[in-house]
Amino acid sequence: MRSVLLTILVRAFWCISLGLSLCSSAGAGETLARIRENGEVRCGVTEQLLGFSFKDEKGQWRGFNIDFCRAVAAAALGNAEQVSFTPLSAPNRFPALLSGRIDLLAHTTTWTFGREAGIGIEFPGIYFYDGQTFGVQTGPLQMKGIEDLRVPLKIHHTTSFCHSRESGNP
């Protein structure tokens, strides 16, 4: 009985995965056609985030997200230089993508169900995994219990939303 249930779950997983990949391919086809018609990849990037997207001393865009956009341009158009970069703040990134002002968003963005299903943004895959950690002073901490722990979080950020949802605190 257990192996039958496992087989059903595995088949259901593969059917759902296939269906999602087919849906993603349809949207990707429209975006690719638009990119080829325009002759460039219009890439939305973080305004200034060292290591990811920033302008160097010569005014040239550099970083991981920039290289990713250039790789997409090379794959789609055969030339890594056929790309334009639009610096975006966090509140402006989704409207720019949804309006068609940019073709690709290479920005600090957490993949959430609400963003994909709720506002219609496709996340075809994860290209960078990150994590969260804590930094503390060295030496003994002056805490009697966990209730004395204070953790600062950036407000209106996915991290603070997840924390408040998990802890039950606003």
Residue 132, token pair as written in the block: 């969260």
Element (H, E) at 104: strand 104-106
- At 1-29, the pLDDT tens digits run 555 444 554 444 443 443 444 344 445 68
Average pLDDT over residues 101-127: 81
Torsion 146-148-154-155 (CA) sign = positive
Q: Confirm whether pTM is higher than 0.85.
A: no
**Beta bridge partner(s), residue 54:** 62
Q: Looking at the predicted structure, is the pLDDT value of residue 85 above 50?
A: yes
For residues 138, 140, 145, 147, the Cα torsion angle rounded to the nearest 10 degrees is: -40
Task: Name the region of 149 (left: φ>0; alpha: ψ -120 to 50; beta: rest).
Answer: beta
**Local confidence band at 33 (pLDDT 50, 70, 90 cut-offs):** very high
Residue, of 124 and 100, whose pLDDT is higher: 100
Is residue 30 classed as helix, strand or coil in its secondary structure?
helix
pLDDT for residue 13? 42
